[in-house]
Amino acid sequence: MRAAVGEMGVRRTALTLLKVNQKSGFDCPGCAWPESAGHRTPFEFCENGAKAVAEEATLRRVTPEFFAEHPVAELDGRSDYWLGQQGRLTHPMVLRPGDTHYRPISWPDAFALTASTLRGLDTPDAAAFYTSGRTSNEAAFLYQLFARAFGTNNLPDCSNMCHESSGTALNATIGIGKGSVTLDDIHRSSLIVVVGQNPGTNHPRMLTALETAKRNGARIIAVNPLPEAGLLAFKNPQKVSGVVGSATTLADQYLQIRVGGDLALFQALGTLLLPHADREFIAAHTTGFDSYAANVAEVDWAVTEEATGLTRAEIEETAAMFAASDATIVCWAMGLTQHRDAVATIQEVVNVQLLRGMIGKPGAGLCPVRGHSNVQGDRTMGVWERVPAWGPALGKEFGFRVPAETGHDTVETIRAMRDGQVKVFVGMGGNFAAATPDTVATEAALRTCELTVQISTKLNRSHTVTGKTALILPCLGRTEADPAGFVTVEDSMSCVHASRGSLPPAAPTLLSEVAIVSRLGAATLDDTIPWESFEHDYAAVRARIARVVPGFADFENRLGGAGFTLPHPPRDSRSFDTPDGRARFTVSPLTSIEVPEGRLLMQTLRSHDQYNTTIYGLDDRYRGITAGRRVVFAHAEDLAEHGLADGSMVDIVSEWPDGERRAEGFRAVAYPTARGCVATYFPEANVLVPLDSVAVGSNTPTSKAVVVRLEPAHAPSPGPSA
């Protein structure tokens, strides 16, 4: 409440927060955790959802006068925290070659400038269209339609850095890249394994679901190099007993795994669970079991204990809990997806669930917990560098030929800008400059562009790191009333529902994302696609989606109440959309990340006071950090081995075949993390993540596994990032 009242004032806070996640309100712009289909309390939001709402509904404004006062060179020296604090963008702005300041530009001129630059390119593939996961289904559908009709599949998105590894692993094994559980499954599960995820900070409403499951008899296992407070012990802030009483112990077992050790862990679990295989399920629904069983026939305990940092006894205890459970769910997030062998690791999770027949059964399944509130929906709507299976239907509906070649994902877009192949960058939300890896290389790449266009609600680094010409196109946020009607989103469990903003727009000059894409389409392309018909009529967009995207038939009429859940063949009927109609066991070699002598494995993660690159404040309450973000969490004994101690100032140097990368002035914090593993905050540490260090198969940057060394700081600390 303090965060919200500070940004919005008391009345606006009350009016806004009571609409969050209500059936007649707006979808929380925070995370993608689902709401209950049934009864909802007036308080369907969490502390961090309130911060996300306050960040958007702030009363502060970034006006043309602001830009006149602050040259871009000055803004470029400001932190993400400072930039975000300045408030909502109000007017379209342009930075022309040679100018020192952004200047106002009219909407028609902004679209004409973008359109003429796009049309002047040698090839449509010289443009890239990025999306972040807050964009509504309607805007996302039109945006990918625009890119493909313009002639390119260059549709990188934040998913490429997020759950791409999950989608890749699941598509190949169960035939659909989405999780197979519902909220109801969580509530009635008997074992929930939370791997590589920090829900206390990033999906706080998930803790309420885990608490319900626990009350219903579930056991919970946490697998994490860090003893994350919210997960190990949870006080429900929405209950009196939660506020004043003792915390519920959520996790029954805590496995303090080494960073990158999950592949070894799940292979070992597979071996131990072979005698408990669900033979009937395996015979009826799967393929490849024999090769899998041969691959995991034995555990090499020395290798497994080294890779995981766990003991044989701990892993055997975990296996016993799996064996005893008749309904197991495995949940995971970035701790599994942002690794070199992320796809193989997630496939080992799938193997274990298939082995026990834990798919398509109440209370059981696979649960990749998505990040951005509509990141899953954006992909469903076709925001993808590949052509979705329904590509031909899209071309037919709108009368154009969908380009066939796979486009650039996020990492490839950076490379293509660097190599002079991509000249125009358009960002539908997000903060490409700060969220992507290898900050120095990425910023240099962005600066080579002819034109960068950012469709944004708030000021961020992507507005200060620009192409030769740069546009800021300010848009409405989720919380705001849109005269053209409501939009829709899809949560992490495939439920599609309406989202209705109610606040007056931050400025009368703002356009909705749908309007911006529609006007861009009309300005750039010939009139084959009736762009004008979409801007004021989102139902018309949904009618098109209903005809093109499978699962959306009769879209408009199914949006009453809590919305509807998209089909998921493995969940609904144990059927698998793979070539032979069966789920596939996979075989992966046992790998782990090699860390040379004297080096440490660094993961980058989120504090309790940030939303990705949006920094709400400089504290990380659950980890005991105040007033600073340039910290590196390390085990006290690892610090001692490096001649360092709690409070030492260090530089972090990452090592990669193409050279070293350096981040200066971090305070070492002695912390009970797994030995050999250190943690820093994203995005400050992105400068250390090499562009070419990516996951096999998904091309996701390995933001959770960077080999580093710590050196005593060369320069005095630059102070907190504020």
Ligand X SMILES: Nc1nc2c(c(=O)[nH]1)N[C@H]1C(S)=C(S)[C@@H](COP(=O)(O)OP(=O)(O)OC[C@H]3O[C@@H](n4cnc5c(=O)[nH]c(N)nc54)[C@H](O)[C@@H]3O)O[C@H]1N2
Q: Return the H-helix or E-strand segment holding 149.
A: helix 137-150
Smallest separation, CB 259 to ligand X (Å) = 4
- Amino acid at position 277, single letter: A
429 is in the binding site of which of ligand X, Mo ion, none (Cβ under 5 to 8 A by kind)? ligand X
Nearest-angstrom CA–CA distance, 416 and 100: 27
Q: Return the H-helix or E-strand segment holding 204.
A: helix 204-215
Hey, CA dihedral for 59, 62, 64, 67, is it positive or negative?
positive
Q: Check binding of 701 to Mo ion (CB under 5 A).
A: no
Nearer to Mo ion, 295 or 338 (CB): 338
Closest CA to 56 of 552, 478, 588: 478
Nearer to ligand X, 578 or 654 (CB): 654
Smallest separation, CB 703 to ligand X (Å) = 3
Smallest separation, CB 462 to Mo ion (Å) = 16
Binding to ligand X (CB under 6 A) within 331-390 occurs at: 333-335, 338, 371-372
Binding to ligand X (CB under 6 A) within 524-583 occurs at: none
Hey, CA dihedral for 78, 82, 84, 90, is it positive or negative?
negative
**Residue, CB closest to Mo ion:** 371
Task: Give backbone dihedrals phi and psi of 339, rounded to 5 degrees, phi first.
Answer: -135, 155
Residues touching Mo ion, count (CB under 5 A): 2
Q: How many CB atoms lie within 10 A of CB 420?
A: 11
Smallest separation, CB 663 to ligand X (Å) = 11
Q: Check binding of 91 to ligand X (CB under 6 A).
A: no
Q: What SS3 class is residue 609?
A: coil
Closest CA to 662 of 600, 631, 708, 721: 708
Tokens 């920090």 locate to 198
Among 208, 286, 456, 488, binds ligand X (CB under 6 A): 456
Nearer to Mo ion, 271 or 337 (CB): 337
Nearest-angstrom CA–CA distance, 459 and 618: 18
Cβ partners under 8 Å of residue 719, min gap 6: none
Stretch that binds Mo ion, among 5-13, 159-167, 203-211, 600-608 (CB under 5 A): 159-167
Cα Dmax for the chain: 71
Q: Check binding of 34 to Mo ion (CB under 5 A).
A: no
Residues touching ligand X, count (CB under 6 A): 60
Beta 103-104 vs 93-95: how paired, if at all? Answer: antiparallel
Among 90, 137, 197, 380, binds ligand X (CB under 6 A): 197
Binding to ligand X (CB under 6 A) within 121-160 occurs at: 132-134, 158
Nearer to ligand X, 62 or 529 (CB): 62
Nearest-angstrom CA–CA distance, 277 and 201: 35
Q: Check binding of 350 to Mo ion (CB under 5 A).
A: no
Stretch that binds Mo ion, among 306-314, 368-376, 528-536, 570-578 (CB under 5 A): 368-376
Smallest separation, CB 526 to ligand X (Å) = 26
Range 305-314 burial, b when 16+ CB lie within 10 A, else e: bebbbbeeeb
Q: Check binding of 228 to ligand X (CB under 6 A).
A: yes
Stretch that binds Mo ion, among 162-170, 225-233, 460-468, 568-576 (CB under 5 A): 162-170
Nearest-angstrom CA–CA distance, 601 and 606: 17
Smallest separation, CB 494 to ligand X (Å) = 17
Smallest separation, CB 148 to ligand X (Å) = 20
507: phi > 0 → left, psi -120 to 50 → alpha, else beta; which?
A: beta
Smallest separation, CB 281 to ligand X (Å) = 26
Among 145, 209, 250, 475, binds ligand X (CB under 6 A): 475
Nearest-angstrom CA–CA distance, 687 and 3: 29
- Amino acid at position 556, single letter: E
Smallest separation, CB 442 to ligand X (Å) = 11
Among 606, 623, 630, 667, binds ligand X (CB under 6 A): 606
Distances (CA, A) of 242 to 247, 249, 336: 7, 12, 30
Smallest separation, CB 610 to Mo ion (Å) = 12
Nearer to ligand X, 173 or 201 (CB): 201
Q: Check binding of 260 to ligand X (CB under 6 A).
A: yes
Binding to ligand X (CB under 6 A) within 198-227 occurs at: 198, 201-203, 223-226
Nearest-angstrom CA–CA distance, 46 and 206: 10
Task: Give backbone dihedrals phi and psi of 38, rounded to 5 degrees, phi first.
Answer: -95, -125
Nearest-angstrom CA–CA distance, 649 and 634: 13
Among 54, 162, 264, 366, binds Mo ion (CB under 5 A): 162
Cβ partners under 8 Å of residue 279, min gap 6: none
Q: How many CB atoms lie within 10 A of CB 604?
A: 24
Nearest-angstrom CA–CA distance, 592 and 307: 6
CB 282 within 8 A of CB 289: yes
226 is in the binding site of which of Mo ion, ligand X, none (Cβ under 5 to 8 A by kind)? ligand X
- Show the site string, 369-388: x = touches Mo ion by CB under 5 A, - = not: --x-----------------
The residues that touch ligand X, with contacts defined as CB under 6 A, are 30-31, 48, 132-134, 158, 161-162, 195-198, 201-203, 223-226, 228, 257, 259-260, 262, 333-335, 338, 371-372, 428-432, 435, 455-458, 460, 475, 477-478, 513, 603-606, 610-614, 682, 686, 689, 703-704
The residues that touch Mo ion, with contacts defined as CB under 5 A, are 162, 371
